[in-house]
Amino acid sequence: MAAFLLWLLLLVFCWPIALLALVLYPIVWLICLPFRLVGITVGAVFAFLGALLMLPARVLRGRPA
């Protein structure tokens, strides 16, 4: 909601920039999408490696986590 209100404010003060932002937003989102997917993948790999390294300690502890 705040982003929409800021865009409306920009539309009132400088409508060409607001329309340009409206047109360019999907293009920028598509360009950033692969980087977001890589970030999610790298985070999942690090979580998996952390769980794999902690597995012996969890098994030797003997209590359910």
Tell me: pLDDT of 57 over 80. Answer: yes
Report the predicted TM-score, pTM, of the whole model to 2 decimal places.
0.60
pLDDT of 65 reads 57
DSSP letter for each residue of 3-54? HHHHHHHHHHH-HHHHHHHHHHHHHHHHHHHHHHHHHHHHHHHHHHHHHHHH
pLDDT (0 to 100) of residue 26? 94
Virtual CA dihedral for 56, 57, 63, 64, nearest 10 degrees?
A: -70
Say whether pLDDT at 54 is over 70.
yes
Percent of the chain at pLDDT exceeding 70: 95
CA angle 59, 62, 65 (to 5 degrees): 80
Degrees, nearest 5: CA angle 11-34-31: 35
Mean pLDDT of the region 49-62: 89
